[in-house]
């Protein structure tokens, strides 16, 4: 991966050290394989160190007071913004700190609700929805990119529509384009599905939206893309995007909202309070320009500083190398699973583009039993609906089992996932050795 071997790279992560959670076991047993990086990723020592170093050496408020310490802390905080901005092809003023991606998406949806209620003045009217307007999502969305839009629709009388997925859990650009009209005001999609690993044709979506729905905003859930693929949000032309620090080798408690500067300057801040204003009277408040108008209250400075370190770490490997490594692991699993009877691969078939995660349904065995069996074998995966119930409903299943990779994931760990999956059905006494693998192509 990049210039380094995965084994060498794993030495950067304390969790893989001898005797640590996912390192060599003192009893000589097989180490536990952590295959749940799509939920949350392990962190390199330099990220943990950066947070600790900030807390030990530089802890002071930001943007408040006149001390030299505040100046240093503020510089670290704003430099981190510049680092993250560069990483995703954004301007510094286009990066807003949020708690996580869910929070970032809520900032947009709630800001639009405020605009719809008349808050934010004339410049916010472009965000105001009314009855007859439409919000478009897909059936594959994570609940974080669905429920905020449900609430916005309920608050404004707008109608929420969803692009249908096919039997693999994938939606097409044609199906999405067919739903677009002059009435469409928001198109909210994930760049990479956290269940199927499908890569959305985002540039095509943006082009179709601009042509057919000139008043629509394109909101990108970049949670499973920014941590794993090269990103250039500015060039992609989306209006807003959201991602989380904890999925990109950074800390918990920090997420990012990207927005085009002119939009962020006009979107009403849904959460208000200190740090967001220029002038306040008892009856009124005027807000700072973006990004600070959205960052109410005391800021998550140590998380921000450590997130910038995670970005530098990813850049030191190179995102193209990260993407190629993870894709090859997922492809390896997809190919091998085609040989495993009774295991159905969700999402793109082998040979098609996919991100570094693979979800399966095992015939006759509930995903929770599959997860328990894998856990007993020392393979940590995610089981359940992965916060995507409508997608599972569309597939006619209640739950799936997902293995997901990051920079430190090895082919051996992925092979253990496949081999253990191959034993699940006989362990639970499900017959059908003669059944062909039901890979949905």
Pick between residue 227 and residue 269 the one whose CB is nearest to ligand PMP. 227
Which of 15, 39, 48, 387 is flagged as catalytic? 387
Give yes or no for residue 257 binding ligand PMP (CB under 6 A).
no
Q: If you search the block for the tokens 């003045």, which residue do you land on?
A: 121
Told to check if 144 binds ligand PMP by CB under 6 A, we report yes
Cβ–Cβ under 8 Å, residues 141 and 387: no
- Decide: residue 43, CB within 10 A, 0-12 exposed, 13-18 middle, 19+ buried: buried
Is 170 a binding residue for ligand PMP by CB under 6 A? The answer is: no
Angle CA 230–231–234, to nearest 5:
150
* Cα 110 to Cα 263: distance, rounded to the nearest angstrom: 14
Strands 217-221, 277-280: pairing is unpaired
194, 302, 400, 420: which one contacts ligand PMP (CB under 6 A)?
Answer: 194
For 431, residues 6+ apart whose C-beta sits below 8 A from its C-beta are: none
Interface positions, 37-96, toward ligand PMP (CB under 6 A): 39
In whole angstroms, give the CA distance from residue 403 to residue 383: 9
Instruction: Tokens for 180, please give them.
Output: 């677009």
Q: Does the active-site annotation cover 387?
A: yes
C-alpha to C-alpha distance for 61 and 69, rounded to whole angstroms: 8
Subset of 383-402 contacting ligand PMP (CB under 6 A): 387
Q: Which of 74/359 has CB closer to ligand PMP?
A: 359
**Contacts with ligand PMP in 205-244 (CB under 6 A)?**
221, 223-224, 244
If the CB atoms of residues 254 and 333 are measured against ligand PMP, the closer one turns out to be 254
Element (DSSP H or E) covering residue 97: strand 95-98
Within residues 282-321, the interface with ligand PMP by CB under 6 A covers none
Q: How far is the CB of 169 from ligand PMP (least distance, A)?
A: 13
Stretch that binds ligand PMP, among 62-70, 140-148, 342-350, 423-431 (CB under 6 A): 140-148
Residue 189 — φ and ψ, nearest 5°? -140, 155
Give the C-alpha separation, 170 to 179, whole Å.
Answer: 16
Return the residue of 81, 93, 142, 392 that touches ligand PMP, per CB under 6 A.
Answer: 142
Which residues within the stretch 90-129 sit at the binding site for ligand PMP (CB under 6 A)?
100-102
Q: How far is the CB of 388 from ligand PMP (least distance, A)?
A: 8
Distance (Å, rounded) from C-alpha 77 to C-alpha 95? 12
Question: How many residues lie near ligand PMP (CB under 6 A)?
Answer: 15
| Contacts (Cβ under 8 Å, ≥6 apart) of 358 | 197, 330, 333, 334, 337, 345, 347, 402, 403, 404
Active-site residue list:
387
Contact positions toward ligand PMP, by CB under 6 A?
39, 100-102, 142, 144-145, 190, 194, 221, 223-224, 244, 255, 387
């Amino acid at each position: 991966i990049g210039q380094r071997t995965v084994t060498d790279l794993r030495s950067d992560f304390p969790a893989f050290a001898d005797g640590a959670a996912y390192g060599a076991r003192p009893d000589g047993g097989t180490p536990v394989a952590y295959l749940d990086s799509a939920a949350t990723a392990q962190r390199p020592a330099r990220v943990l160190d950066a947070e600790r170093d900030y807390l030990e050496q530089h802890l002071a408020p930001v943007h408040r007071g006149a001390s030299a310490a505040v100046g240093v802390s503020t510089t670290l905080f704003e430099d981190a913004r510049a680092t993250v901005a560069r990483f995703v092809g954004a301007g510094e003023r286009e990066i807003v700190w949020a708690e996580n991606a869910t929070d970032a998406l809520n900032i947009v949806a709630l800001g639009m609700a405020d605009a719809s209620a008349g808050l934010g003045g004339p410049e916010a009217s472009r965000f105001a929805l009314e009855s007859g307007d439409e919000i478009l999502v897909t059936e594959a969305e994570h609940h974080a990119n669905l429920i905020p839009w449900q609430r916005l629709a309920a608050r404004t009388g707008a109608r929420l529509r969803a692009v249908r997925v096919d039997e693999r859990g994938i939606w097409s650009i044609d199906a999405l384009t067919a739903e677009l009209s002059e009435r469409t005001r928001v198109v909210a999609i994930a760049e990479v599905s956290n269940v199927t690993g499908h890569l959305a044709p985002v540039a095509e979506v943006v082009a179709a939206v601009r042509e057919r729905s000139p008043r629509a905003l394109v909101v990108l859930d970049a949670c499973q893309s920014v941590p794993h693929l090269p990103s250039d949000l500015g060039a992609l032309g989306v209006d807003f995007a959201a991602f989380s620090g904890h999925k990109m080798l950074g800390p918990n408690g920090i997420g990012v909202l990207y927005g085009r500067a002119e939009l962020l300057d006009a979107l009403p801040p849904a959460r208000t309070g200190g740090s967001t204003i220029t002038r306040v009277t008892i009856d009124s408040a005027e807000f700072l320009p973006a990004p600070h108008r959205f960052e109410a209250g005391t800021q998550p400075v140590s998380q921000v500083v450590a997130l910038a370190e995670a970005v530098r770490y990813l850049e030191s490997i190179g995102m193209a190398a990260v993407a190629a490594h993870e894709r090859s692991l997922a492809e390896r699993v997809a190919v091998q699973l085609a040989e495993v009877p009774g295991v159905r691969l969700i999402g793109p078939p082998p040979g098609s583009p996919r991100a570094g995660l693979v979800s399966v349904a095992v015939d006759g065995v509930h995903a929770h039993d599959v997860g328990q069996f894998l856990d007993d074998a020392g393979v940590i995966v995610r089981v359940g609906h992965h916060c995507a119930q409508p997608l599972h409903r569309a597939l006619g299943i209640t739950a799936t089992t997902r293995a997901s990779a990051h920079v430190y994931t090895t082919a051996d760990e992925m092979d253990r996932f496949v081999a253990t999956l191959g034993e699940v059905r006989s362990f639970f006494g499900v017959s059908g050795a003669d059944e062909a693998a039901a890979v949905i192509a």
